[in-house]
Amino acid sequence: MPDQLIFGMEVFLNGLMAGVLYALVALGFVLIYKASGIFNYAQGVMALFSALTLVGIMEGQIPFAHLINAIFGTELHHFGWHVPGILAIVLTMAVMVLLAICVQKFVFRHLVGQEPIILFMATIGLAYFLEGVGDLMWGSEIKKLDVGLPQGINLAIDETTFGWFGYGFFIDNLDIVATIIAALLVAVLVIFAQYTKQGRAMRAVADDHQAALSVGVSLNFIWVMVWSVAGFVALVAGIMWGTKSGVQFSLSLIALKALPVLMLGGFTSIPGAIVGGLIIGVGEKLFEFAIGPLVGGATENWFAYVLALIFLVFRPQGLFGEKIIERV
């Protein structure tokens, strides 16, 4: 087999893995958009916030230590205990649920029935707010996140493919784990949405707020639930990316990676987010591999958007989006 083809296959596989991670971030957007029509700009910041909280809890950091020290002149930093990963994840989840309740109670309950752009704006305010709170609570230095996920090249794949092609493929263990977790998460979400009472209620709300309200679905509860689930997705995404790069400000920028995925897959479709993620992941990696060197590289950022744009010109509602029927 020619070298380029083998290399291409390796890039393709890595693109798939990256795509799963993009899909994971995009899922958070889709969930909220589907259930409440809110385009949640704060999703990326939520990933950062949840990861910061997770590390903070694991390390036994005192929240707002910096602020407390500045006001009272104390020297507090740590509680002096370490919380095991699983427990910390549960505690972080509790914080995210609390956040969801607050968001619903203080922000979106007052904005029911507003236009989408206003709701979008409110999430921008939320993003600013969370960014400030996250930093103030836990400090803005880089934190190492280690919940025990494996990292580094997967030797089994390396050796097997070396046996086949004479060139070992590079697949990161973390990516494999991430793929498995993301796949599980998606399966759970689909089952949840299709087969549980709350899931059905959620879909009912997504279809028609008023109709759902009239058959006795509590909008408040559903929206808190959706925000909690989105918080959970953000936490998972935060763990995956945070393990690789340490937990720091840039985590909040991963939202940008999810936008083309959303466009491509449609804002309202869970399968769309997954397929869109895979297409974007593979597309941008293959483009960088094949065309990147010719035009000077670093094409991934814009190519994802151009790819999505081309798709949209042919399917304006995205791959799996609901068909737009326009009436006067």
Partner 1 sequence: MFYREAGDFKTSYREDNQTFPIKFDRYRYYSVMFAAFAVVPFLINDYWVNAIFLPFLIYSIAAIGLNILTGYCGQVSLGTGGFMAVGAYGCYKLMTAFPEVSILIHVILAGGVTGMVCVLFGLPSLRIKGFYLAVATLAAQFFLVWLFNRVPWFYNYSASGQINAPERTIFGIAVTGPNTQAWATYLFCLVIVTVCALVARNLTRGMQGRQWMAIRDMDIAAEIIGVNPLKAKISAFAVSGFFVGIAGALLFAVYLGAAEAGDSFGITKSFLVLFMIIIGGLGSIFGSFAGAAFLVLLPVFLKNVLVGWLGWPTDMAAHLEFIIVGALIVIFLIAEPHGLAQLWRVAKEKLRLWPFPH
Partner 2 sequence: MKLKLATLALGATMAAAPVMADLVFPSLSYRTGPFAAGGIPFADGYADYFTLLNERDGGIGGEMASVPECETAYNTEKGVECYEATKDSGALIYQPLSTGITYQLIPKVTADGIPLHTMGYGRTSAKNGKVFSHVFNYPVNYWDGASVGVNHFMKQAGGSLEGKKITLLHFNGAYGREPIPTLEALSAKHGFDFNAIPIDYPGQEQKSQWLQIRRERPDFILFWGWGVMNQVAVQEAANIRFPMENFMGIWWSGSENDVIPAGDGANGYKSLQFHNVGNDFPVFDDIQKYVVDAGKAAGAGDQVGTVLYNRGVYAAFLAAEAAKQAQAANGTSAIDASMMRDAMESLEITAATMEAAGLPGFGPEFKVSCENHGGDGLAAVGQWDAASQSWSLISDFEPSDGSVIGPLVDADSAAYAEENKVAMSCN
Binding site for partner 1 (CB under 8 A): 39, 66-67, 70, 106-107, 110-111, 114-118, 120-122, 124-133, 135-136, 140, 256, 259-260, 262-263, 267, 295-296, 298-299, 301-302, 305-306, 308-309, 312-313, 316-318, 324, 326-328
CB 304 to partner 1: min, Å: 8
Beta-bridge partners for 19: none
User: Residue 306 touches which of partner 1, partner 2, none (CB < 5 to 8 A by kind)?
Assistant: partner 1
Helix (H) or strand (E) holding 283: helix 270-290
**Whether 103 contacts 220, CB under 8 Å:** no
Longest Cα–Cα distance of the chain, Å, equals 69
Contact 28, 230 (CB under 8 A): yes
Instruction: Give the one entry of partner 1, partner 2, none that residue 245 binds, where binding means its C-beta sits below a cut-off of 5 to 8 angstroms depending on kind.
Output: partner 2
Which amino acid, residue 244? K
Enter the tokens of residue 224: 């808190």
Treating both helix axes as pointing N-terminal to C-terminal, what angle do 219-245 and 3-36 enclose, rounded to 10 degrees?
150
Cα 293 from Cα 158, distance rounded (Å): 25
User: By CB under 8 A, which span of 48-56, 212-220, 290-298, 315-323 interacts with partner 2?
Assistant: 290-298
Regarding 166 and contact with partner 2 (CB under 8 A), the answer is no
Interface with partner 2 includes 309 (CB under 8 A)? no
Site for partner 2 in 167-196 (CB under 8 A): 170, 172
Residue 302 CA to residue 306 CA, distance in Å, equals 6
Using CB under 8 A as the criterion, which residues of the chain lie in contact with partner 2 when the complex forms?
Answer: 7, 10-11, 14, 18, 66, 73, 77, 135, 140-142, 144-146, 151-153, 170, 172, 241, 244-246, 248-251, 253-254, 257, 284-285, 288-289, 292-293, 296-298, 300-301
